[in-house]
Amino acid sequence: MLEFQNVSLSLQKKEVLKNINFTVAPGEMVAILGASGTGKTSIFRLLLGELKPTLGSIQLDDFALEKLSYSNLQKYRRQIGVVFQDFQLLPQKTVFENVAFALEVCGEEEKIARKVPELLKLVDLWEKRDQFPDTLSGGEKQRTAVARALIHNPKILIADEATGNLDPQNSKDIAALFHVLHKERNITTLFATHDPILVEALKPRIIRLDDGKIFFDKKGITLAEAFAGMI
C-alpha cells in the first residue's frame, strides 16, 4: 500500500505540492495528469526518495520514505522500476548490456544469464539483444528501458511521460506492454502523461493535478474530462 499523507513540497521557496493526499492499492494502475509544472514529476521524485516532503509523510507498506537511512533507501529503490521519456540508455552498451547493467552495479551478476533473456523476450527484443541504442527505433529504446526497469522484480513501476517521444503506433505498443505487465505480473503502475492514447488504452484511475493540488481523483471518466484544459 502506497500512501501520500498531507504531503507538501517547497523548492527554492516555491510551493510545488500543496497538501497532497492519495492511496494506491497493490496492483492498481494510476495515471497522474496535469499541465506542465503542476507537480507530476515532483511526486515521482518524492516516491524515489530524491526529495523529501516539506510537510507530511509518504508510506509504502510499513516504511516512511522520508525516514529511511541512505543504505535502506538504496534497498528500497530496487523495489521501484522507472521508465523515463528520454530512455536514458547507455549508448556504448548493447541492449543486453543495458538491461544487465542494473544487476552488475548491485553485485548480482549471477542473475544476468537468467533474468536478462527472460525480460528481453517479454518485451520482444531478444533478436535485438546485440544492437546498440543508436540503431533502435524510439519504441525499441523504450521497450529496452522497460526491461531494465523490471530487472529487480519491482513492486511499483513508474513511467514519466513514457510515450512523450514516440509516434502513435509506438505509443499503442507501449500501452499494450504496460497492460500485459499489469495483468500478468500485477505490478502497481503509476504513470504521468500528456498522451491520450495511453489513457484510452489502459483506462486507469486518474489523479489530475492543478497548481500543485489534486483537482480530482476518479476512475471511469472520458478523455475529454481527463484532459480538459490540457490539450
Backbone φ/ψ region at 217: left (φ over 0), alpha (ψ -120 to 50), beta: beta
Sign of the CA dihedral running 191, 24, 65, 185: negative
Contact between 76 and 65 under an 8 Å Cβ cutoff? The reply is: yes
Q: Tell me, what's the pLDDT at 189?
A: 93
pLDDT in tens, 164-215: 888 899 899 999 999 988 888 889 999 998 889 999 999 999 999 998 999 9
Pick the more confident residue, 61 or 216: 216
3-state SS assignment for residue 113:
helix
Positions of E strands within 25-89? 29-33, 55-60, 63-64, 80-84
The residue from 128, 146, 164 where one domain ends is 146
**What average pLDDT score do residues 12-39 get?**
91
> Within 10 Å of residue 179's Cβ, how many Cβ atoms?
15
Q: Which three cell numbers stand for residue 75?
A: 534497498
Give the model's confidence band at 10: pLDDT under 50 very low, under 70 low, under 90 confident, else very high: very high
The residue from 95, 121, 146 where one domain ends is 146
Same domain, 175 and 73: yes
Count of structural domains within the chain:
2
pLDDT in tens, 219-230: 988 888 888 877
Q: Which three cell numbers stand for residue 222?
A: 472520458
Strand order across the beta sheet in which 188-192 lies: 80-84, 156-160, 188-192, 29-33, 205-210, 213-218
Q: Is the pTM of this model over 0.75?
A: yes
Q: Tell me, what's the pLDDT at 149?
A: 93
Question: Which of 22-31, 67-76, 109-118 has the least mean pLDDT?
Answer: 67-76
| Res. 17: pLDDT tops 90 | yes
Q: Name the residue range of residue 98's domain.
A: 86-146
> Is residue 231, in this structure, part of any structural domain at all?
no
Location of C-alpha cell 521508465: 83
Contact between 166 and 146 under an 8 Å Cβ cutoff? The reply is: no
Q: Tell me, what's the pLDDT at 124?
A: 93
Same domain, 65 and 164: yes
Query: What is the chain's mean pLDDT, rounded?
Result: 90
Contact between 144 and 87 under an 8 Å Cβ cutoff? The reply is: yes
